[in-house]
Amino acid sequence: MGMTISQKILAAHTDKDFVEAGELINCKLDVVLGNDITAPIAISEFHKLELNKVFDKESIVLVPDHFVPNKDIKSAEQCKTMRDFVKQYGIKNYFEVGQMGIEHCLLPEQGLVGPGDLIIGADSHTCTYGALGAFATGVGSTDMGAAMATGEAWFKVPESIKFIYYGKIPQWVSGKDFILHAIGDIGGDGARYMSMEFTGEAISRLSMDSRFSLCNMAIEAGGKNGIIAVDEVTLDYIKGRLKRPYQIHYSDPDAVYAQTIEYNVAEMEPLVAFPHLPENTRPVSQAAGVLIDQVVIGSCTNGRLEDLAIAASILKGNKVHSELRVIILPGTQAIYLEALRRGYIEIFIEAGAVVSTPTCGPCLGGYMGILAKGEKALATTNRNFVGRMGDPTSEVYLCNPAVAAASALKGQITPPWEMVLK
C-alpha cells in the first residue's frame, strides 16, 4: 500500500518507513511558529520547564503581527514578552516592526519554510505552507511551548481527501474561489482532521500567491492541513529564497484516499461566503446587490502582491463609493514596497482607500477596521464568524480581491466584470 504526500512527510520525520491513517506518532519538527497572541502563552508554559535553552535557536520563528504596531498597553506587554524571550534564548528568527509582516505571508517570502518540511504554528492558518509541499498545521500554545523545548510534537496521521481541479480557469477566478467552492461543498467540518490534497491541471496553472490562498483556508473545512505537490512553479518560487536542503514528496499511485472530489473550474465564478460561516457560499452573481459599509483587502489569505495587483487594476482611475470605507493591508514590508514601486499604493490612495502597515488588524476584530452594530464588511479574509470583525450584530462577507475592489466602487457586492466593462 502506498502513502500520500502527507503520510510521507510525517514518516520522514519519524524513525518509520511507513505510517498509516489513524496511527499516533511522534515527529521531529523543522519549524515552530508563534505570534503576539499565541506565543506569550507558549513562552509561559516553556518557562515552567525551567530550561536554559530551546531545542534550536534557528527553527523557532516569532512574528508579532496581530496587534502590531501595538494598539494598547496589553498588546504592548504581549510583544515585550516575545522580545524578552528572544533576547534570553537567542532566537534568530524574530521580526520586529519594520521588518515583520503577516506571518503566513512572511515565512514563505523569507525562505523559512520549504518542501517536505514539518511545521507547526500556534495559529490555525499555519496550513498555508502546504502550498510549498510542506506538512503545516496549527496547534495550541501549550503544544508550541513543549515543541520549543523538545523540537517534537505528536500527531495522529490524518486520512486524506483528494481534490482534483480541472478545466480552464475563468477570468476573475482564483485560488480563493477554489477553496471557497470546496468548503461550500463539503461544509465546515467536511474534512475534519483530514489532509486536503489539491491537484489537477487547474492547480498547476495557479500562481504561488493563489496557492497560498487556497491552502490557507483548509482549516475552514476542518482540515488538518492543505497540501499541493511541488512543481516548477514551486521550485521557481523557492529558488534563491530557501537557504537549506529540502525534500520533495509525491503521493504514490496506490495511496489510499478517504474520498476523491473533482471540480470543473470552467464552470466556476467568483464566490462570496455569506455570514456567518465560510461554507455559506454563493456565486457573486447571486450575491450582487448586498449593501456594505466597509471593504478589507489583505490578510494572510489575500494580502500578497498578486492580490494587490488585481485590486489596483480595478480601482485605477476610479473612486471608492462615498458611503464606504476601504482598508488595504499589504502582507509584508517587501510586498508593500514592491506595490509602492509599481504604483499600486498611489492608485489605492487616489481612489480613496486607506493603506495600512502590514498587520492582521481587522481580520480577527483586532483593530484598524472594527465594525459597529449592524455594519457589513466585504473582506478578502478567511473567517466570517459572529462578531469576527466587531459587534456581534455586524456581518462579514468573504470574497476574492477582484470582487472586493469592484464592490468598493459600487458600495454593494458586485461582480468584477460589471465594473471593468464600465
CATH number of the domain within which 242 lies? 3.30.499.10
The fraction of the chain above a pLDDT of 70, given in percent, is 99
> Minimal CA–CA distance to 188: which of 219, 163, 156, 157?
219
Are 159 and 236 in a shared domain? yes
Classify each residue of 197-219 as buried b or exposed e, where b means 16 or more C-beta atoms within 10 Å of its C-beta.
bbbbebbeebebbbbbbbbbbbb
178 with 101, same domain: the answer is: yes
Is the pLDDT assigned to residue 136 strictly greater than 70?
Answer: yes
Per-residue model confidence (pLDDT) at position 419:
79
Q: What is the pLDDT of residue 63?
A: 96
Question: At residue 296, does pLDDT exceed 70?
Answer: yes
Question: What gap in Å lies between CA 394 and CA 391, rounded to an integer?
Answer: 5
Residue ranges making up the domain that contains 304: 271-421
What is the SS3 assignment for 353?
A: coil
Q: What is the DSSP string of 8-75?
A: HHHHHTTT-S---TT-EEEEE-SEEEEETTTHHHHHHHHHHT--SS-S-TTTEEEE--SSTTT-SHHH
The last residue of a domain, from among 240, 263, 286: 263
CA distance 220 to 192: 9
* Lowest-pLDDT choice from 155-164, 306-315, 410-419: 410-419
Same-domain pairing of 212 and 316: no
pLDDT for 1 equals: 81
The whole-angstrom separation of Cα 236 and Cα 4 is: 24
Domain boundary among 238, 263, 288: 263
Q: Which of 232, 263, 294 is the last residue before a domain boundary? A: 263
Can you tell me the distance from the alpha carbon of 132 to that of 230, in angstroms, rounded to the nearest whole number?
Answer: 6
Q: Is there a single domain that holds both residue 296 and residue 243? A: no
257/284 same-domain check: no
Angle at CA 406, nearest 5°, toward 405 and 408? Answer: 65
Mean pLDDT of the chain: 95
**Amino acid identity for residue 371 in this structure:** L
Using the structure block, give the residue that is written with the C-alpha cell 517587501: 334
Q: How far is 418 from 168, CA to CA, in rounded Å?
A: 21
Give the rounded distance of the alpha carbon of 24 from its chain centre: 27
- The CA distance from 138 to 128, in Å, is 10
The single-letter code of the amino acid at 123 is D
Q: For residue 28, what are the β-bridge partners?
A: 152
What is the Cα–Cα distance from 316 to 346, expressed in whole angstroms?
Answer: 9
On whether both 154 and 212 belong to a single domain, the answer is yes
Domain count, the chain: 2
Q: 279 and 250 in one domain?
A: no
Give the pLDDT confidence of 297-323 residue by residue, as tens digits: 999 999 999 999 999 999 999 999 999
Asked if 98 and 11 sit in the same domain, the reply is yes
Give the model's confidence band at 421: pLDDT under 50 very low, under 70 low, under 90 confident, else very high.
low
- 413: helix, strand or coil: coil
Instruction: Please give the span between the terminal C-alpha atoms of the chain, in angstroms, as a whole number.
Output: 56
pLDDT tens digits for range 342-395 = 999 999 999 999 999 999 888 888 888 999 999 999 999 999 998 898 889 999
Pairing of strands 24-28, 152-156: antiparallel
Range of lowest pLDDT (57-66, 147-156, 161-170, 360-369): 360-369
